[in-house]
Structure 1
Amino acid sequence: MILNGLSGIPTFFKRGEEEVKMSPEAVVIKKTGWYTVYFMTCDPELDGTTIRGRTVWKNRGGYLQGDKAPLMKFYASMLLAYVVLGLLWFPQVAQYWKDGIQLHSHISLVIVFTMGELAFLYFDFAYLDSAGTSPMEVTVWAITLSSMRKALSRLLLLVISSGYGIVRPTLGGITLRMLLIGVLCFVISESLGLAMQFGNFSENGMTFLMLSWAILETCFIQLIFRSLWKTLKKLKLNKRNIAKLQLYKKFATMLVTMMVLNFAWFYVQVYVYNSLSEFWQVKWMIPTLWYSLSYALLVLICLFWPPSEKPMRYLYVADMEEEAEEDDLSVAETGMNVTKAEDGDVERYERKTLLEAFIILLGNLPGER
């Protein structure tokens, strides 16, 4: 056995032996780095030898890997941050529960599941750091709660973007589609998490899961921004809901900014960290940004739609539909936003802001380009 260039530990077979046990050996590593254990055979007759056993690695602080050790402190910090958010949010929900909307329940569920996920992740890392092994039950619970949190958080964004309870009384025809995509999100995330943690999937199976997750994420992004585009267009037609329009513009700006940061960080993860091995000491930062962005997004949603005894500024009002229809008719009758080109053809001219351009791009809305 050779440890990444360090002195080897020799083991010999005596004549007639088909199995030999290696004596436990301790190797002192004096320099921080990324080390690999190689098992090598020098005798051609030993070709096809099967090696069973395990190696135990321990750093100065514990058994946790060097590229994952900072994550334990990060999970503890994020758990504390969510506890603080919960202490501020849940009393308000309880105080104004009669005047609350369904959106507040969705936000509360996301906070609860994220707190549970972070608690199990911290306990899993702490136990592994102290004992050298990870309890399977805790790991499975952490993966399950993480998958539920991912599904609920994406559904929360979809619910808000659709204007449920704020611009429209129901989700209409997309309810079944939302439930289906939420269940798929949980199943694929759970399968991918278990496969990455326990390594019980083939290479083709892992490729299929990762491709399925990428396709599902793309569907979520398009559905969220398409729904957001429809909601903004509907609010623009309603002159008595300027406050809601401004609120949704802020939400759209925040969501677009988060998506740009997500794409930029994904590029860094794929093309920088994964390709350069010398960055192993800062690889723990990869998941930290995802959690940080999720927390920032949730905090802003809580600030945009807080529980209140007067929730009319964001609550659905029935006469919105009638006024929107009237404005649609007036636009059609007066021919607004229609100009005549130099060659005599009539064409529609509509100026779009940079924010709207990003929403159209992320929602893949070719008809609005």
Structure 2
Amino acid sequence: MDLLLALLSALLVLLGGVSVDASIHTYDLEPFKEVGNAFLLSGGSEGIVASVRSSYIKFDNVTFWRSKEAAEQHSSMEHSTGLIQAIIFEAADRDNIGGSAYGGQRSICCTPDLAKLEGCKQGEVIRRPSSVDLNWPVVLSTHFSANDLFANLDPQQVHISKTGMYNLFFISCDPKLRGLMMSGKTIWKNPGGYLPGRMAPLMTFYVFMSLAYLLLSVIWFVQYIRFWRDILTIQNWITLVIALGLFEMTLWYFEYLNFNSTGVRPVGITTWVVTVGAIRKTISSLLILSISMGYGVVRPTLGGLKSKVLLLGVTYFLASELLDIAENVGTINDISGKARLFLVLPDAFLHAFLILWIFTSLSRTLEKLQTRRSSVKLDIYRKFTNSLAVAVIASVSWIGYEVYFKATDPFSERWQSAWIITAFWHILAFSLLAVICYLWAPSQSSQRYAYSGEAADDDDEEAQSLNKSSPDGDVGLVKLDKDRNLDPTTAFSLEDEAEEDKQE
């Protein structure tokens, strides 16, 4: 990839966080950056669906500001000074911006030598017509008048007649305009509204996810109310996760609906939606971990592990919240910023640690159930383990696909299918929740899984093994002593009844 494209891509990513409210990109005295032999400012990048009448990029009150020193450098005799150009091009036509390699790099602006080689006009952006439409890329120009400190770009509307990923750059080739800044806004419109092309399918997706959570909640709450006298603590937490999932999907839909209809994406509303999502993911993860430890089925409490689980929950919430804020709050461009890369690492590390802890705990729980010959509970936990294994394999495979997808599409030209990346994780979370609801559904025998007292001491055993506070021999002696004092008729007599109830 040549240097110019790398520079353009890097700058677009870095400036993807330009002060924006929504698909209405606002610029509040944003500074131009020096890139190669040009001063450049990214105006945005979005996928737009073709529609001559309703798809467009509109310039509104765009004003360029230069320093007093820059104005004084231009001759007062000149009527027009300091050329500034706005360039709109589709990602597929990116090679049509810039000229041949000169001085070891590809130039954005036309130099005296390139004027002879390319036939371009010195002091302007090098632009070659698209093979599909000779009018593209679109170049809009304005000048400073005499020694004025500001210049306005005429309000105009560029209609989009071809579906694609469109980029907007403001460029000045005048070396005297160092320190140039810009204010104003541009309005990007798709046929269906103001949502960027990559986000538009997600609004429909959140409708279906809301309906899916609603159906699950109805089925669950019917059972919950029917057997409310026999509800376990773990089932209360499942209820909370279902409610949070429904609330989150509904909030995302209305957030996108408001964004699409008004063109404004308030930071406060998006932050609130993201926070609900982070809480839902945190409680879901801790629920899976707690179930894996046998909480509510094999042990009545988490005992000495409670503080560690809560610490993991707080850390997980913070990592998830920061990552989601970076991805969603104030985001409208269809190319994500570099800040996300730094936030993905701690989030990925916590996920790996959580998965390791979950399967370690599951192994211990399955071993205990096998030792006690708890056939009903063992069958449930085996199904749960298989479901988790499938979920982990699917997650790892999808992460590999996501890396491949983004690595092979640096300019987001496959933006129309990019929404699937986000949708997959919601579908996976819902599927795993549905499995948990099926395995631990409220029933008249629910309380029979809340054994009498066989696990009151087991939580301390796992806590000791994690803390390594006692020698292995001591733990074995303690366990042996517990087994001697355990009354099998008290601990397991209800389990056979539970199995019979299930068969009935």
Q: How would you bin the TM-score normalised by the shorter chain?
A: 0.7 to 0.9
Match for 1:311 among 442, 446, 449? Answer: 446
| Alpha-carbon distance between aligned partners in 2 of 1:199 and 1:207, rounded to the nearest angstrom | 17
The structure that is strand-richer by fraction is: 2
Q: Report the Cα offset of residue 274 of structure 1.
A: 4.5
Correspondence for 1:211: 345
How high is the sequence identity, in percent, across the aligned residues? Answer: 39
What TM-score results when the alignment is normalised by the length of structure 2?
0.61
Query: 2:433 aligns to what?
Result: 298
CA contact (8 A) 1:305 1:314 kept: no
Instruction: Determine the structure 1 residue equivalent to 2:163.
Output: 32
Q: C-alpha offsets along residues 261-320 of structure 1, whole Å, 9 cap, x if unaligned?
A: 011011111122443233221000001111111111111111101111112563334347
* 2:88 paired residue number: 3
Q: Structure 1 residues 77 and 119 mapped into 2: Cα distance closer, same or farther (>3 Å)? A: same
Aligned to 2:281: 150
- Deviation, 1:219, is 1.5
Deviation at 1:158, TM superposition (A): 0.5
Which among 210, 215, 220 is matched to residue 84 of structure 1?
215
Q: Deviations over 1:118-175 (max 9, x none)?
A: 1111011111111111133321111010000110000110011010110112212211
**Contact persistence 2:295–2:301 (CA under 8 A):** yes
Q: Structure 2: how far apart are the matches of 1:102 and 1:322?
A: 19
Q: Find out whether 1:183 has 2:314 as its counterpart.
A: yes
CA contact (8 A) 1:238 1:320 kept: no
2:339 and 2:417 map into 1 onto residues whose CA distance is 29
Please tell me whether the aligned partners of residues 273 and 279 of structure 1 are also in contact (alpha carbons under 8 angstroms): no
Q: Is the Cα contact below 8 Å between 2:266 and 2:330 reproduced in 1?
A: no
User: Which structure has the highest helix share of the two?
Assistant: 1
CA 1:99–1:53: 2 relative to 1, 3 Å:
same
Q: Radius of gyration: which is bigger?
A: 2
Are 1:143 and 1:193, in contact at CA under 8 Å, matched by a contact in 2? Answer: yes
AA at the equivalent of 1:47: R
Is the partner of 1:11 in helix, strand or coil?
A: strand
Equivalence for 2:382: 249
Query: Unaligned regions of 5+ residues in structure 1, if any?
Result: 330-369
Distance 1:207 1:65, change over 3 A: closer
Is the alpha carbon distance of 1:318 and 1:298 closer, same or farther for their aligned partners in structure 2, counting shifts above 3 Å?
Answer: same
2: CA distance between counterparts of 1:124 and 1:111? 20
The structural deviation recorded for 1:210 is 2.4
Given candidates 378, 384, 400, the residue that maps to 1:267 is 400
CA contact (8 A) 2:293 2:361 kept: yes
For residues 217-253 of structure 1, give each alpha carbon's deviation from its aligned partner in whole angstroms, at most 9, with x where no partner exists: 11211111111111011111012x1111111111100
Letter in structure 1 aligned against 2:236 = S
Counterpart selection for 1:196 from 290, 309, 327: 327
In structure 2, distance between residues paired with 1:41 and 1:204: 25
CA RMSD in angstroms, aligned pairs only: 2.5
For residues 85 and 302 of structure 1, the distance between their equivalents in structure 2, rounded to whole angstroms, comes to 9
What does residue 33 of structure 2 align with? none
Which structure 2 residues correspond to residues 91-170 of structure 1 after superposition, within 5 A? 91-170=222-301
| SS of residue matched to 2:162 | coil
Letter in 2 for 1:228: L
Runs of 5+ in structure 2 lacking a partner?
1-85, 90-135, 332-336, 459-475, 481-504
Q: Which residue of 2 aligns with 1:349?
A: none
Task: Report the alpha carbon displacement of residue 37 of structure 1 after superposing the two structures with TM.
Answer: 0.2
Q: In structure 1, what is the Cα distance between the partners aligned to 2:454 and 2:198?
A: 57
SS in 1 for 2:402: helix
Secondary structure of the structure 1 residue equivalent to 2:137: coil
CA distance in 2, matches of 1:117, 1:163: 28
8 Å Cα contact 2:206-2:249 kept in structure 1: yes
Deviations 1:24-79 (A, max 9, x none): 21001110000100111132212331122322111111111111111000001100
Identify the match of residue 232 of structure 1 among 358, 366, 390: 366
